[in-house]
Structure 1
Amino acid sequence: MRRGKYPFIIGFLIVPVTLYVTYVVAPYIQAFQLAMTNWRGVSANAKFVGLENFERLLKDDTFWAAVRHHGIILLVMPLVTIIIALFFAFMLNVGGGSRGGELRGIWGSKFYRLVFFFPQLLAVVIVGVIFNRVYAPDDSGLLNGMLGSVGIDPVLFMADKNIALWAMIAVLVWQAIGFYVVLFSAGMASVPREIVEAAMIDGASRFSLFFRVTLPLLWDTLQVAWVYLGIAAFDAFAIVQVLSVDEGGPDNATTVLGMEIYKSAFREYQMGYASAMGVALFFLTLTFAALTLRVTRRETIEM
């Protein structure tokens, strides 16, 4: 049995590993190669230019604007999403208090789980179309219709460069919350009831119960959530593509690296320069994930 173990494992993995190397690893390697050329994507001719594309990046104001927007999204979106999702998950699991010696969620918690998760069922493009109507700059928009009913002039959510990025972040938070409510709910459900009930018998308030018992036991789940949300913050291309004015406008107020890569590659036919931006995005994402895992690392609490 042992003699046949390794051939079986190799035979089982050879197809998925080959597909992964072919369609994931190889394109990454090719992107590094193209970043060193001036290839335009319309012919086989590509001149090696070394680090010229990366030097150009350092002088590109639009590139730095996109990086700055990623930084703002990275600071705001994960934090707001996790705080709201933790609150809802806590309420859905133990918000109803203790009845019959058993902790329960608020009334209708199963229904609310479905409601919170619903945005995850929608394609990103559909989410963008929905919020195009929510943010419409006249009374036909949901938000401006509500503001108009109380005598407030319409707000140009996506046309005002001081507001547009924050409106985009609100959409990203709305879309993400449902998944993390379910994720945190699953984590809270795995916390031994005896620990929670013992804390309540000792007189712990819900505030203390959350911060002294539930949160420490959910730390590994929070760490994973923060990394996933950070990676999502470095994406955001689809929402910007569908929702923003003039693809990253107004005046590049909502542009992100994915959008600039798209425009450089498929509008300006500068595949080499787009690949250089892709490489920069790859290292930014990798650095964020590594730093987050390092900074948030702590000893696992045994239950």
Structure 2
Amino acid sequence: MYNAHRRSLFLFAFLAAPVTLYLVYVISPYVQAFYIAMTDWRGVSATPEFVGLDNFVRLFSDGIFWKAVTHNLALLVLLPLLTIVIALFFAFLLNVGNGRGVGGVAGSKFYRVVFFFPHVLAVAVVAVLFQQVFRPDGSGMLNGPLMALGARPVGFLSDPDVAFWSVLGVMLWQAVGFYVVLFSAGLASIPRDMFEAAQIDGAGRVSMFVRVTLPLLWDTIQVAWVYLGILALDVFAIVWVMTDQHGGPDFSTTVMAAEIYRNAFHYFRFGYASALGVVMFFFTIGFTILSLRLSRRERIEY
């Protein structure tokens, strides 16, 4: 009994400081955001008026909010799916698919480093870089050759029908390299015997990928899907910096995080911005729980 009591005191003393810091710097801001979401606070008054659920009622009738939600949901589907498919293809190629037995292509270590380069760059740097790539005149990296061939320039960031896809392309360009390295690490942990046995049994590259690689990498893919989904819901900097009118043109690329920033620091509607933040919080938590439940499967030991 005495030892158990001492152990409890030790655990309490050990955990008291980190738990207190977590409550103060993580849980407390969440609680404050939930409270501010039910006020008309504009960032200056010491005693904001409590308005209950008015901000949420107004939010769900806001057309710009629904545009932002639509873009976030589109990213939520497309970004994880495309990133994982492309990264799995390159990781499998670099580690298994050299066409001469089981092994990666020549120079695979060098290619992993090259693939990882875009992930090292800060998001703001990537946004500014692609502003220049997508320039609508002859100095643009893409429009320059098109105009030299006599074609009309494409409004990658100025055409409402194209701008969203340009943003998605940039996000893919930056994200794929990290997941190539992540999946390569997962593939490296799979015993070579499994691939060799599958090859002896007559499995081709596609069959080996579907029947060996995917099942054994499932836990890694699950984690990648959750992280990419959270990235799709929380995306802000690349949209705010790269696009015209910070989410334009005509709100064709705006996302929930951009609308939170715009309402808080441009219009000084902190109560309304907090309501947006609360909705985004529940979207993110709901997506994470749903993804983990739907992708749960029996763990394969090897």
Q: TM over 0.5: same fold?
A: yes
Counterpart in the other structure of 1:209: 208
Does residue 15 in structure 1 map to residue 17 in structure 2? yes
Partner of residue 30, structure 2:
28
Aligned to 2:219: 220
Alignment of 1:172-211 (within 5 A): 172-211=171-210
Shift of 1:264: 0.6
- Letter aligned with residue 167 of structure 1: S
Query: What does residue 241 of structure 2 align with?
Result: 242
Kindly provide the CA deviation profile for residues 241-266 of structure 1, in whole angstroms up to 9, marking residues without a partner as x.
10010111111101101011001111
Quick one: which of 74, 93, 102 aligns to 2:76? 74
Report whether the alignment pairs 1:54 with 2:56: yes
Residue 43 (structure 1) aligned with residue 42 (structure 2): no
CA distance in 2, matches of 1:173, 1:284: 22
| Structure-to-structure mapping, 1:90-239, within 5 angstroms | 90-98=92-100, 103-239=102-238
Equivalent position of 2:271 in the other structure: 272
Letter in 2 for 1:217: L
Residue 300 of structure 2 aligns to a residue in which SS? coil
More divergent stretch after superposition (79-88 vs 139-148)? 139-148
Q: How many angstroms apart in 2 are the aligned matches of 1:144 and 1:110?
A: 33
Relative to structure 1, is the Cα distance of residues 137 and 290 closer, same or farther in structure 2, using a 3 angstrom cutoff? same
Please give the alpha-carbon distance, in whole angstroms, between the structure 1 residues aligned to 2:185 and 2:11: 32
TM-score, structure 2 as length reference: 0.95
- 76-85 or 138-147: bigger deviation: 138-147
Equivalent position SS for 2:234: coil
Structure 2 letter corresponding to 1:181: V
How well do the aligned residues superpose, as a CA RMSD in angstroms? 1.5
Whole-angstrom distance in 2 between the partners of 1:259 and 1:198 = 51
SS at match of 1:33: helix
For structure 1, list consecutive stretches of 5 or more residues without a partner in the other structure. Answer: none
TM-score by length of 1: 0.95
User: Offset at 1:85?
Assistant: 0.3
How much has 1:8 moved relative to structure 2?
Answer: 4.0
Runs of 5+ consecutive residues of structure 2 not aligned to the other structure: none
User: Could you give the per-residue CA deviations for residues 181-200 of structure 1, whole angstroms, max 9, x where no partner exists?
Assistant: 11111111111211111001
Give the C-alpha shift of residue 302 in structure 1: 2.0
Name the residue aligned to 1:257.
256
Separation in 2 of the partners of 1:289 and 1:130?
A: 31
Letter of the aligned partner of 2:253 in structure 1? T
